[in-house]
Each structure stands twice: as structure tokens, then as C-alpha cells.
Amino acid sequence: MITKRKICLFEASTGDEVRSREQFLTEHIETAQLLYHSNLSHSGVPVHPLQFQRYVRSLGVDNDCHIVIYDRGQMIWSTYAAWVFKLFGHQRVSILSGGFLAWKTQMARSSQYRTDSGDEVPTGQGDLQSSWNQSLVITFDDVLLNTELHTYDVVDAQTKEEYIGEASSALYGHIRGAVNIPVDAMYDWKSNKWRSAAEIEETFKEAGLSRNRPVIVYCSTSLRSSMIWWVLKRMNYDARVYFGGWPEWVVRAPDDLKILGRNGLA
């Protein structure tokens, strides 16, 4: 099913890379390599383009590779990795629908779907040349200016409890003017499938989004933001990630531009 014809297949690790490696070594999709999250991000902030280039070249990634990414069910690790590849200039990037769980299901139906164990060794050094796609990101200053100009619609990808500031584990809330679209609205976890285009379109419509206006997406680590971003781009919206997110905003923004819940100022 997966061939060596310019396809680079990766399993995206979670933040628990020790556990991810154990699972990968036990069983993974044939020809896949493990893509470590720590080589893509530092606390939600993408690594330097040259660091990324050096890392993926060591995995044998060439400029003409079609990148295919999967994870083990959470989707955010796949979408984050896909966003980083595109951020650093690589255009041919796909996410394997249903991930590892769907692949295992198909194994019971067809011998074309195979898994392997142990490490996968790259065939050689890759030649990928990284760049920086500014159209996929936005900075604190840009978001701050948007509170005056209202050029962008702003989407908060946190849970509803985090958005309204009722999560107990930290100081949560949202950027004034942001609408809340949690990742659960994009993905049906029980069926392990993306929600239908009609359902997603209705969610975006109810949130007031329009293809005539660009969209900023943020959360606390860029993981959930990347999942909303992926769907927005697939639905032909102009979207970009504010990777500073809520942690940066709550520290740097004026008080009147942050909405805090019961654990902070209203």
C-alpha cells in the first residue's frame, strides 16, 4: 500500500517520546520512521528552519518527497507535524486518514496493509531545503494590531472550559473577540474519522467565519491550533497559527484584551 516511490512515511510521536518509541519499536506501519516532536517544537514554538532541515535530512527526506504522517489516534501530533513541514516550505504533505488504528483495521481485510517492528533505517541523507512560509504564522504584534483593525477572525482552539476560564489547572481564558472552536468539533473520536464537510462547514458558519476573511488560530501549545488550521486549509480558508498563543497573550497583552474566568480578572 505504501511504496518507496518518493513517499516518506512518518509516525508522529507524542510529547511522551519514550512511550512513543516503545510503541513504535513494538509495531508500526511498514517503512515508517518515528518523527520526534521535540525535533519540531520547543514548548509550542517551531524549531529553527535549519535545525528542522538537518533533522529531516537525517531521515532521508528529499525536496521531492511526498510526506505522509500518521499518529496513534490523537491527530494533533500529525497535524502539528504537517503544519511544521508546510511552515518550512514543503508542500507535498498528507495525513493518513484514521492513522495507525485505521491501518490495523485494514490489516484484517487485506494483506496489502502491513506492519513491522524495530527501527526503520533511512536509505541515505536527504536533500530537503527548508525555508520559512510566513503566510502560515502570525505574531503577537500582528494579533495585537488586529484588535484594532479587525482584519482577521480569531479562533480559540482550547476546550470550552479553558476558553471561558473555568479550567482549574492554570490561568485560562481567551483573547477578546475570539470565538471558540474545540478540536472535538472537527473529529469524531468514536468512529476515528473527521466530521463531514457539511458538519464542519456548519460549525464554521455558526462561529461567524467566512472565506472572505483570513483566520488566526491559537491555543496553548499550537497542537490543537494545528488541527483546526489543517481543517480550515482543507476547506479553503486562509488560516495561520499564532504559535505564541494564550501563554504569550496572557502575559503580554493589555488587561482589557484578555478575558479571564473565575481564576483571574474578568
Could you give the CA distance from residue 57 to residue 122 in angstroms, rounded to a whole number? 9
Phi-psi group of 192: left, alpha or beta (phi > 0 → left; psi -120 to 50 → alpha; rest → beta):
left
Nearest alpha carbon to residue 40 among 79, 70, 8, 81:
81
Give strand pairing partners of 239.
Answer: 215
pLDDT at res. 263: 53
C-alpha cell at 79: 497535524
Average pLDDT, the chain: 93
pLDDT-derived band of residue 202, with 50, 70 and 90 as boundaries?
A: very high
C-alpha cell at 48: 529553527
What are the contacts of 192-201 at 24+ separation with CB within 8 A? Answer: 192/73, 192/98, 192/99, 192/101, 192/102, 193/97, 193/98, 194/97, 194/231, 197/235, 200/231, 200/235, 201/235
Could you give the 3-state DSSP secondary structure of residue 125?
coil
| Beta carbons of 27 and 101 less than 8 angstroms apart | no
Q: What is the mean pLDDT of residues 126-135?
A: 96
Buried b (16+ CB within 10 A) or exposed e, 198-234: eebeebbeebebeeeebbbbbbbbbbbbbbbbbbbbe
Structural domains for the chain: 7-116 (3.40.250.10), 137-260 (3.40.250.10)
pLDDT at res. 56: 97
pTM above 0.85, yes or no: yes
pLDDT at res. 166: 87
pLDDT at res. 3: 44
> Per residue in 1-10, pLDDT tens?
444 458 999 9
| Total length of the chain | 266
Amino acid at 207: A
pLDDT at res. 121: 78
* 40 burial type by CB count under 10 A (0-12 exposed, 13-18 middle, 19+ buried): buried
> Per residue in 176-201, pLDDT tens?
999 999 999 999 998 889 999 999 99
